[in-house]
A and B are shown apart, each in its own frame.
Chain A
């Protein structure tokens, strides 16, 4: 039972499982940004649109804090991956 739960993929872009996320929250990495740095959650093509909410709920559950008090993490541009070549080309034009 618990194994099956642990194997659920939460961040699909970076293939991070619920088990890994729980393990790191238990170690004290209980904010989205910390988990992002150690596990790369939310760093793929969807930029956390799929996993952020699930991870924040898991942090709330494990720390006993209300969901609204868990910081959702920093949002930086770009909101979706952009090819480096496209940026370089735009730079030359300007």
Chain B
């Protein structure tokens, strides 16, 4: 059976960072990603990042991916990479992990330590005819356009005015697609002001306290009905029919954590982090002594914090494996914790800080 010191599940911003950090101390790392290419969501993010310069603010997402790939390449003698390879199971009895590469190649790996950086999945909301072709997740639309160069249709209703809804709306317009309107169930725009301002300047209406009532169509989307809702999210009776062929759902993400459940990690439901997440100590170790977690899988946040969490998890793992000088590891950990606190500072980080407090433990009993 294949063996490795550190298995990193997921090659997005968190997983790449964890792999690079662990390999920089000499650990042998195996990095697996279910997608055809590494980089996770970064490779489709054409917008510039916010935050501090330390965390690459002002750089576009796909450029950040390129920087991480460069670092990965510098450590290639210590990092073995598998793409198009899904980790399908964790078996508690013997700590063996099952994987399938492509459709036909099934194999087992026995890692000493694991970093779960499995990311997130898009939420779907129920409404009549939401199964029709033409109803997409916003992330899926972004992948289609920015990775594969395919526009989804001609006229779009965007559901959700958080950052993803606003950014993807803008990118649809850059691709020549008409965004007919954006509906948002809350009474205010959830995303950053600059993103909202960009689409408003281009004349896209944002309907607050509105939701999609139903999709119209027989074999594919031929229209949508939106409706106004009150403070209790009940319909007021005001409705409007929109002529669209695409309904794009940007209604939130939820952490992908099947493998953590399979491993028996202690889990908590934390609404601030958008779903069930693993309880963790300061250095991202779960209740399972050999499993760490990082990035969106540990709670929905930004790629910037995912990268720092990945670094912290990578350090946690090498420390447990006995690599590196303890002072050096401690020094780096302190720096990363400071950077993470910076990213989560102020009013914008309040929700995340609350959520993390709900699933953090001081240390695990040994």
Contact = CB atoms under 8 A, between A and B. Distances in A.
Nearest to B262: A75
A10 to B, nearest CB: 6
B88 interface: yes
Q: Sort chain A's interface into a size bin.
A: 20 to 34
A28 interface: no
Nearest to A12: B131
A7 to B, nearest CB: 7
Contact of B88 (A12, A74, A77, A89): A77
Residue among B254, B269, B276 with the most chain A CB within 10 A? B269
Contact of B131 (A4, A9, A87): A9
B293 to A, nearest CB: 15
Q: Sort chain B's interface into a size bin.
A: 35 or more
Interface of B: 1, 86-91, 98, 100, 103-108, 121, 123-131, 214, 254, 256, 258-259, 261-262, 269, 275-276
A55 B131 CA distance: 16
B86 A86 contact: no
A90 B98 CA distance: 11
Given A86-B100, A86-B104, A77 B91 contact: yes
A68 B127 contact: no
A78 B259 CA distance: 9
Given A75-B258, A79-B258, A54 B90 contact: no
B128 A86 contact: no
A31 interface: no
Interface in A54-88: 54, 67-68, 72, 74-80, 82-83, 85-87
B1 A94 contact: yes
Nearest to A9: B131
A77 B269 CA distance: 22
Contacts of B259: 79
A86 B89 contact: no
A54 B86 contact: no
Contacts, number: 75
Nearest to B118: A79
A13 to B, nearest CB: 11
Contact of B126 (A8, A47, A83, A89): A8
Contact of A53 (B86, B88, B100, B275): B275
Contacts of A54: 124-126
Contact of A86 (B105, B127, B262): B105
B329 to A, nearest CB: 32
Given A9-B131, A79-B258, 14 more contacts: A8-B126, A49-B256, A53-B123, A53-B275, A54-B126, A72-B261, A77-B88, A77-B89, A78-B98, A80-B88, A82-B88, A83-B104, A86-B106, A89-B104
Nearest to A55: B126
A50 B140 CA distance: 14
B301 to A, nearest CB: 19
A16 to B, nearest CB: 11
Contacts of A67: 269
Contacts of B128: 4-5, 7-8
B269 A68 contact: yes
Given A49-B121, A49-B256, A77-B90, A82 B100 contact: yes
Contacts of A18: 126
